[in-house]
Amino acid sequence: MSFPLEAQVWPIWILLGGFLFMLIWEAMFKEKGRKWLVEISSLFLLMALISNGILIFKTHGMGTAFFKGTLIEDTLALKTNFIVLIGAFWISVFGFSKLLKKKSVTGEFFALIFSASAGMIILIAAQEWITLIVGLELASLSSYALIGYLRTEEHSVEAALKYFLMSVFASTFLLFGISFLYGLSGRLEFNKIQHALNLTSNPSLLGMATILLIIGLGFKVGVAPFHFWAPEVYDGTSSTVAGFLATAFKAAVAVAFLRVFLQIAQLQIIAKNWFVILAGLTMVVGNIGALVQTRVKKMLAYSSVAHVGYLLIAFTILGQASSNQIAQVVYFYLFAYALMTLGAFGWVGFFSKHEDIEIHEYNGMGNQYPWLAGMMVVFLFSLAGIPPTIGFFAKYYIFKLAVAHHQIGLVIFGVINSLISMVYYLKLVIALFMKRAPMDNNFSFIDQHEKIIPFILFIFSIGICVLGFVPGIF
């Protein structure tokens, strides 16, 4: 049965349509229309989710190239789209609640979410360098604006400026690496670059191109030592924006990163040892950085760096394990990471009186609000990789595949780092349930009338506890 070509880009068209609609809605109705922004954005996102689901069933996961081979819709792309769309829904709901309290709700915020998400989906499906850059920069430019959206707050503007300057700097490395590859192969398409490189031999230039690509893409995904922007930016912006960037944007770049190295086999040989070093370094830097933090959000920011290190273990077996095996464990890890990170950032953003809340300010909260505090414990245990949460299974599948391909030393190092991470996660658990609240702390910042956000967090926590047992659905 033939499948209409236009359907392949339904999710992108819907998101770009949502972007334009939000701008027009804001221009037409201004304050009067702002109370409907969440409902409208949720409708567009639901349509994008449904269209993405239809594509999965219609294409049966077969890789279908379109737009003259510049984009592809395969299982990895379509499933990763779900992470982006879930993240977009999450930031729409949580962001609206947060901005409502600050009286800063506008249609532009939701328009930026749609444009960022469209860029991420283009990035995920890119099959050649120009399309990849277009998707990456569309997502990045929208992210700059989201980070600095609260322009009256100094920390938010500072975080946006840091991200903008560092991101532009990293993009130069990426473009320089692409130019080397183009000079060697004369091609922009990933699959044709591999064939062209078989006909030429210049190991030094190919090695330089590989290193530049790792730096450029590694910065975007938060690989140490190119991670330094991540803790500062996540800490400076709102929890909702930080959660969106730490999950949806990171997943999109990670999949693009994986595609490049899966399809250009010559890069794998050069990059393998670099991935081993970077995986170990990223785990150590992220966990040690989180270990010394007293602010909850900055602790989670460094934790997100450490999780990139665990993910990179899968990159160290490129060329040994099959592409499908690597893609499967990478996607499952990204999905699990998205659930627990969105849950943790959402919890901190909603149950805090200010963005710089310290761990000790949650002392005794579990005694007064055990269900609310219990949800955060689930998120933290999953981030630490404690069974039977989905975080445990995500690490297990990556470690298992790496051991099967002789990366035993790196897996042991990963397990040690996971044990180290338990120390800083448990600091917050101890504060919640094992320390007494000061007499003057009645946790008045908790809005007991809000029902939607606690319900969403509850669904996330249930998913974290259940979905790890059924990896086959992924």
User: Residue 342's pLDDT is what?
Assistant: 96
pLDDT of residue 448: 63
Query: Does the pLDDT at position 232 exceed 80?
Result: yes
For the chain, what are the domain ranges? Answer: 7-473
Burial status of residue 301 (CB atoms within 10 A of its CB: 0-12, 13-18, 19 or more): buried
Low-confidence winner among 188-202, 272-286, 381-395 (lowest mean pLDDT): 188-202
Average pLDDT rounded to a whole number, residues 228-250: 93
pTM of the model: 0.94
| CA-to-CA dists, residue 281 to 68, 285, 317, angstroms | 40, 6, 17
What's the confidence (pLDDT) of residue 1?
42
Predicted pLDDT of residue 3? 45
d(CA 126, CA 150) in angstroms, rounded, equals: 32
pLDDT digits (tens, 9 = 90+) for 416-458: 999 999 999 999 999 999 988 776 666 666 666 678 889 999 9
Task: Decide if pLDDT at 76 tops 60.
Answer: yes
Residue 375: what pLDDT? Answer: 95
What is the per-residue pLDDT for 7? Answer: 60
pLDDT more than 90, % of the chain: 69
* pLDDT, mean over the chain: 90
**Range with lowest mean pLDDT among 24-28, 31-35, 340-344:** 31-35
Whether residue 378 is predicted with pLDDT greater than 80 in this model: the reply is yes
